Amino acid sequence: MPASIMKPFLSLLLLAATFAGAAEPAKPAAKAAAKPAATKAAPTPEQLAAEARVQAMQSMVNEARRFPTATPEAKAFFDRLRTERAAATDVETRAALDQALAMDPAVDARSPLGKDAVHRVPAPAGTTPETKLAELERQLDLGDSARALTVAEIVQLTESADFPTAHRALRLLRRVDPATAAPLLWQHLAKLTSREQVQLTEDELLRLPVKLVGASAPAAPTGALAAKAAFLRVAAVRPAVVLSKTALLPLLRTTAANEVSEAAWDAVPRVFTAADRAELQIAAKDLFEEAAKAAAAKTAPPRLYPRAKSTIEALR
């Protein structure tokens, strides 16, 4: 064990308590000018001592967090703290040591209000769709089996007109049965128009197992602009999502920079190779011509031009 850990924390606390006596007294303030600048008052010796004492206690607690499992090193560390706890007389010191000793992995968790072991109190069962979803999420977070709702009941809740309820049901369905959730997530994505809602659904698609994310995925981007861009972003990083040259090329012919055209160029390396550079240059002909005109006029090129140019040049 490092010597810094074995150093008695009680000594640190005692040194902090005597810091007030060793602190240098504040120098008298200089003569005030006509318009003195606002200055922060220097901390008093008592404040300095209190700060040092708190830092010493926090350092002790941070060291205790280093031992998530019971090891010989952890046993030696916490035995040393128990020795210091038995010898401590200061109430604040003993409270800090108690807090650190509560993190001993070799000791069962105890209630701070008594000597009884902490008991897990079961949460009340849900009675509404929202509370049943909350109960199901709590069960999953605790590592229990999903008992609050069946897969069929969760699927039914995904059809709710209330987006938060439907999205929460989809998120939990993805955790319970990802194979069932994959096609439903794609269906919901195509219907959404809000960028915020699209982003939440896109995140759930990316959290699906890689081999399942392509299940029932559309052959081409569909829906609103935000939904199309989300499809392209997912397809760019998930080979299981089928994306063809035929579906992608029309999106590359535009000169306007928006989330769809930018996502389309980002997805080009998924579909095209260096042998397709000529085809891509034809698709981006209008964009390159505008960039050439901007260069002749010494103005900024179209915003999409650098992305398209670097993407084509980087193809292998």
The Cα–Cα gap between 268 and 276 comes to 10
So what's the pLDDT on residue 90? Answer: 85
Query: What sign has the CA pseudo-torsion 31, 35, 40, 44?
Result: positive
The Cα–Cα gap between 196 and 122 comes to 35
So what's the pLDDT on residue 137? Answer: 94
* Number of Cβ within a 10 Å radius of residue 263: 21
- Give SS3 for 26: coil
The Cα–Cα gap between 181 and 203 comes to 13
| Consecutive 10-residue averages of pLDDT for the chain (316 residues) | 47 47 47 58 84 84 85 90 89 86 80 64 84 93 90 96 96 96 96 96 96 92 96 96 94 95 96 95 95 95 95 94
So what's the pLDDT on residue 238? Answer: 95
So what's the pLDDT on residue 9? Answer: 52
The Cα–Cα gap between 281 and 289 comes to 11
So what's the pLDDT on residue 101? Answer: 87
The Cα–Cα gap between 77 and 285 comes to 70
So what's the pLDDT on residue 5? Answer: 44
* All structural domains of the chain with their residue ranges: 3-22+43-101, 244-316
* Number of Cβ within a 10 Å radius of residue 211: 13
Residue whose entry in the numeric block shows the structure tokens 């928006």: 258
So what's the pLDDT on residue 34? Answer: 54
So what's the pLDDT on residue 246? Answer: 93
CA-based end-to-end distance of the chain = 52
pTM of the model as a whole: 0.63
Report which DSSP code applies to 276. G
